Structure 1
Amino acid sequence: MQHLLRADVTEQKSSEKSPDSLDNDDFYDESSPENIKAASKPPQPTIIPYFEEAKTVVYAKENERVTLNCPVKNYNESQHLIVWFRNNNTLTTGQQILADAKLYQLDKDMNLVVDKVTENSTGDYYCTVMPHKVRMDIILKIGEAPVVNNHQMMMSASALLLFITLLARELSNGILSLATIF
């Protein structure tokens, strides 16, 4: 049995080549400068798009042409695609209009143009920036946009502030208690 072991060891040693007798193709030294991979450029960070407002309401007169804006920030045409939807139905993908081309168009900034606003074209729209799925909701309504009277709003805010100040003073002086208010 010892004879077999010696034969195996002898056969193994005879099949091995000395480092000096190796062909260049057979030799691989991981520490060799030729075998070190060149550092690859780090991937460019993807620009993350966003909207300053998540939702808006657009008012238009009947039969009027209206543009629904998709005011995305950090938009990069080479990295992003704007897709328009109405009531969860896809209207556009990029520059391609999938819905009624007589009713919808895209302007150069990828805003959706509704050619003629009717009761049938009102509703919930949204634009999504892919691949990040960043979304802005737009509600299209027929009618006039409500007018906010800034003067009335300022007077109401001033009156509320005065009331809170007086209430705080009365509470701190012990004239009123929270139990009497509630």
Structure 2
Amino acid sequence: MRHLWLLLLIACGSVQLPGVLTYPEALPAKSSSAAGGGDGGGAGGGVTPTETSKDYDYEDESQQAAANLAKSTESPKIPDPYFEQTDVDIYVPINTTSVKLDCPVRNYNAQHHVLLWYKGKTPVSNGDNIFDKIYSMDKKFSLTVPLASNATEERYVCEVPNKARRQVTIRFGPEPSTTVPSAAGGSAVTSAPAKDSAPHGRDISLWLIGLLLAPLQLAVSFRF
């Protein structure tokens, strides 16, 4: 009987005895606003549901990034080298033993171009490297070349491959003078110097002035 009574008390939940296991009462479910402590005033305020973000166009962003990368990596255009004179004749005395040949190339960039010297078709230099010690070259690529005593003409070429080329022809002897073309009919026209004609014109002017003043002098003399 006593065991039955204890079981009834436990089932009803009116008495809790030491050493006897009792089940906790089921608590009523709380709303989300109550669990969050009202308007966010309690600890760990209410959680507001986040809105779904709009779709982002990753393709446009990747295209823009690729365009910016292409602009940043695009190398500046290097101007082409050139010569103002591509064919030059140099006249030297017959017994000259050496001569200095200039190579005035424009827009030359040592990082992108190379300059070559040739004697005829034989390479003489490549950049700063000279293939034969009989030649010498300065920092401006001017080449000093030896001349043979019996030579009558020598040709050298200063070149930036596939860009610019200058040929220098060395000729021995005096430079030919420029001739003035004669007048029509083949005869040369000669004229007297200006300093010779000036005195004659001055004499004629004085004679005319004297001729005009003579009647005036006669009239004055007869009057008085």
TM-score (normalizing by structure 2)? 0.47
Q: Is the counterpart of residue 54 in structure 1 residue 86 in structure 2?
A: yes
Q: Is the 8 A contact 1:47 1:74 kept in 2?
A: yes
2:177: which partner in 1?
147
Aligned residue type for 2:142: N
Q: Is the counterpart of residue 75 in structure 1 residue 105 in structure 2?
A: no
* SS at 1:36 equivalent: helix
CA distance in 1, matches of 2:151, 2:119: 11
Q: Which has the larger radius of gyration?
A: 2
Task: Kindly provide the CA deviation profile for residues 101-145 of structure 1, in whole angstroms up to 9, marking residues without a partner as x.
Answer: 12x111221011114454459422111013x33101111122222
Q: Is the 8 A contact 1:60 1:117 kept in 2?
A: no
Structure 1 residue 47: Cα displacement: 1.5
Query: Relative contact order, CA 8 A, sep 6+: which one is greater?
Result: 1
Q: Is the counterpart of residue 64 in structure 1 residue 94 in structure 2?
A: no
Q: Is the counterpart of residue 109 in structure 1 residue 140 in structure 2?
A: yes
**Is the alpha carbon distance of 1:32 and 1:56 closer, same or farther for their aligned partners in structure 2, counting shifts above 3 Å?**
closer
Aligned residue type for 1:57: D
* SS at 2:160 equivalent: strand
Q: How many equivalent residue pairs?
A: 124
CA distance in 1, matches of 2:61, 2:173: 76
2:119: which partner in 1?
86
Aligned residue type for 2:145: V
1:137: which partner in 2?
167
Q: Is the 8 A contact 2:116 2:158 kept in 1?
A: yes
Aligned residue type for 1:83: L
CA distance in 2, matches of 1:111, 1:137: 13
Task: Kindly provide the CA deviation profile for residues 47-66 of structure 1, in whole angstroms up to 9, marking residues without a partner as x.
Answer: 21111122011122334321
CA distance in 2, matches of 1:45, 1:144: 45
Q: Which has the higher strand share?
A: 1
Q: Is the 8 A contact 2:124 2:130 kept in 1?
A: yes
**Is the alpha carbon distance of 1:50 and 1:35 closer, same or farther for their aligned partners in structure 2, counting shifts above 3 Å?**
closer
1:5: which partner in 2?
none
**Is the alpha carbon distance of 1:32 and 1:74 closer, same or farther for their aligned partners in structure 2, counting shifts above 3 Å?**
closer
Residue segments in structure 2 that go unaligned for 5+ positions in a row: 1-57, 185-224
Structure 1 residue 75: Cα displacement: 1.9
Structure 1 residue 146: Cα displacement: 2.1
Residue identity (%): 26
